[in-house]
Amino acid sequence: MVIPAHVAIILDGNGRWAKKRGLPRSYGHIKGCANLETIVDDSLEIGIRYLTVYAFSTENWKRSRDEVEGLMKLFRLYLKKCVKICEHNKIRMRVIGDTSVFDADIQEAIRVLEESSKDYDAMFFQIALNYGSRDEIVRGMRRMAEDAANGRIRPDEITEETIDGYLDTAGLPDPDLLIRTSGELRLSNFLMWQLAYSEFYFTDVPWPDFDKAELMKAIEGYNNRERRYGGVKEG
Ligand code: IPE
Ligand code: IPE
Ligand code: MG
């Protein structure tokens, strides 16, 4: 079986998972966060080279104050824990999205995490926080326009690779496989440029229940597709 080099996941359904059990949404997020730790381990074991997960969108600030605060608390704990996880497993981590709006201590935790893991190469793990594809393109194109205005690039030299280089995901290959849990059939502003040729896999399983067996199902599904562009399929 071919293991996709880059797997992207929209982690969805924490709230519904909790509601179904009569628990608060915040408990669903705690379970979802614990599941992310497990799936990172599984991905490493399976041999996935790049893993990108969508954990908080630019739209998610519109949720209740309580829920947003709970998520920030969870990110604080998780980002710190990631330093150890990365060290132990030799995983490199990067946070994509506009992190400039987070509290200073969260921004510092991101800086420490990215810096301390930058030489590891067992897997490249990206987590999208305050991420939106349109926002990423706006931020990237502003920087590109500045570089053009300063004479660092010429408009007629701009290629798809140039644009890639201005996105948060710069330097990484596009995802081969996109997974969305919990039944919704939409992208919700995730990696719209990068997913141009990716295979999509949707499952009704909510994120807290999405385990290694479910991940393998998605990879099997991927193996049964005939890809046209964007990836090399062997054997
Ligand atoms: C995904 O679960 C996690 C985040 C977006 C933070 P949701 O919170 O969207 O769960 P549902 O979709 O309401 O069930
Ligand atoms: C998408 O899930 C964003 C993340 C998983 C972080 P949402 O639950 O926020 O998306 P919508 O609202 O269903 O589109
Ligand atoms: Mg949701």
In tens, the pLDDT along 202-230 reads 999 999 999 999 999 999 999 999 877 76
Q: What mean pLDDT, rounded, does the chain reach?
A: 96
Q: State the burial class of residue 212 (Cβ atoms within 10 Å of its Cβ: 0-12, 13-18, 19+).
A: middle
Over residues 56-99, the pLDDT tens digits come to: 999 999 999 999 999 999 999 999 999 999 999 999 999 999 99
Mutate to test the pocket of ligand 2, among 57, 71, 98, 187 (most ligand atoms within 8 A of CB): 57
- Ligand 3 centroid, distance to 30 Cα (angstroms): 15
63 Cα nearest atom in ligand 1:
8
- Ligand 1 centroid, distance to 14 Cα (angstroms): 5
- What predicted TM-score, i.e. pTM, was given to this entire model? 0.96
Q: Is any atom of ligand 2 closer than 6 Å to the C-beta of 117?
A: no
Tokens of 19: 């509601």
- Ligand 2 centroid, distance to 17 Cα (angstroms): 14
Q: What is the largest CA-CA distance in the chain?
A: 59
Q: Is any atom of ligand 1 closer than 6 Å to the C-beta of 10?
A: no
Q: What is the pLDDT of residue 85?
A: 98
CATH class for the domain made up of 6-132+175-223: alpha beta
Mutate to test the pocket of ligand 1, among 11, 12, 179 (most ligand atoms within 8 A of CB): 12
Over residues 151-180, the pLDDT tens digits come to: 999 999 999 999 999 999 999 999 999 999
Catalytic residues: 12, 60
